[in-house]
Amino acid sequence: MQIPVITVDAFTNRPFSGNPAAVCLLENDLDEDLLQKIATEMNLSETAFIRKLKPGDDFSKSSCFGLRWFTPANEVPLCGHATLASAAVLFHVQKNTNSVLTFVTLSGELKARHVKDHIVLDLPLYTAYPQELKEVEELIKAAVGDMIVQDVRYSPDTRKLLVRLSDTYERSVLENLKVSAQHFLSAEKTGKVKGLILTVKGNSSGKGHDFYSRYFSPWYGILEDPVTGSAHAVLSSYWSEQLGKKEMLVPRVGRCWDGSSVPPTHLLPPVQLLQFL
In a domain, 256, yes or no: no
Inter-CA distances, 78 with 175, 188, 213, 228, Å: 25, 22, 18, 10
CA 100 to chain centre: 20
Dihedrals φ, ψ of 187, to 5°? -80, -20
Residues 229 and 176 reside in one and the same domain? yes
Q: How confident is the model at residue 2 (pLDDT cuts 50, 70, 90)?
A: confident
Residues 86 and 194 reside in one and the same domain? no
In a domain, 249, yes or no: no
Q: What is the CATH number of the domain that holds 40?
A: 3.10.310.10
| SS3 category, 61 | coil
pLDDT digits (tens, 9 = 90+) for 200-238: 999 766 568 899 999 999 999 889 987 678 899 999 999
| SS3 category, 166 | coil
**247 an active-site residue?**
no
In a domain, 180, yes or no: yes
| pTM score over 0.85 | no
| SS3 category, 173 | helix
* Residue 108, burial from CB neighbour count under 10 angstroms (0-12, 13-18, 19+): exposed
* Cβ atoms 1, 35 nearer than 8 A: no
pLDDT digits (tens, 9 = 90+) for 4-60: 899 998 877 777 777 889 999 999 889 999 999 999 999 999 999 999 999 999 999
Residues 187 and 268 reside in one and the same domain? no
Which one of 27, 32, 46, 109 is the catalytic residue? 46
Q: How many domains does the chain have?
A: 2
In a domain, 248, yes or no: no
Alpha carbon distance 79, 76 (integer Å): 7
For residue 151, what are the domain limits?
129-243
